[in-house]
Amino acid sequence: MSKFKAFIFDLDGTIANTLPLCIQAFRKAISPLAQRTITDEEIVATFGPSEEGTISALVPDQYDQALSSYLVHYEQLHHQCSRPFEGMAESLEELRNNNVRLAMVTGKGPRSTEISLRQFGLGACFEYVKTGSAAGPIKHQCIDTLLSYWTDIKKEQVIYVGDAPSDIVACRLVGIPIAAAAWAPTARPEALLPLAPDFIFYDVKTFRDWAISVI
C-alpha cells in the first residue's frame, strides 16, 4: 500500500462533536422567525448544503436575519463543545510533525468553520480549508481542487477522513480512499458500512495509531 502523504479532514462529527451544537443554533435562530418550533428532523433533512443552504430552505424570506442570528448562537453556544474529540489535536500534531500535509474539506460555511477552528485552536493545523456551498454538496469538487494544488503527491497517497455516507460518495467520485470516522455519538456505522469505506474507525486512538503506521 502506498504511504499516505496527505490527510483531508471533515469537521462536524470528525474533528469534534459539533453537530448537536449546529442543530441547537439553527433551532434558536430559525424558530422565532418561523414562529414555530423547528424540529431536529427538519433541520437534518436540509443538510448537504452549508448552513446558508439550510437557512434558505427553512426561512428564505428572512435569510439575512436568520444567518446573522445563527452565527451569534453558534459562537455563544460553542462552550458546549469547547474541545475536539479526545486525542484529535494530538493526532493532527503528530501527523504534521511527520511532514504529512493536512487540509480540511467541510460542508460548513466559512464563518462557522472559522469560529470552530478558532475555538479549538486548530486553525494553523491545516494548509488549506475548503468550506461548503449554499447550493448543495461540493466536497468532491473541493477535494479535486486540493489534488490540483498538491502536484508532488499522487492521488492514491491522499486520504479523506469523514463521518458521513456522503463523504464516502464524494471520495468515490474523486477516486481517493476514505477512512470513515465512526467515533462521534452522532455516527451511524450502519449507514457507513454498506458503502464499503476503505477503512473505518470507532475511536480516535485506533485511528491515530493506524494513521501513524501508514505515513
**Gap between the Cα atoms of 172 and 176, Å rounded:** 6
Interval 151-199: pLDDT, tens: 999 999 999 999 999 999 999 999 999 999 999 999 999 999 999 999 9
Interval 40-84: pLDDT, tens: 999 999 998 999 999 999 999 999 999 999 999 999 999 999 999
Looking at residues 21-48, what average pLDDT do you find? Answer: 94
Contact call for residues 185 and 158 (beta carbons, < 8 A): no
Rg (CA), the chain: 17
pTM: 0.95
pLDDT score of 48: 87
**Gap between the Cα atoms of 51 and 109, Å rounded:** 6
Interval 122-150: pLDDT, tens: 999 999 999 999 999 999 999 999 999 99
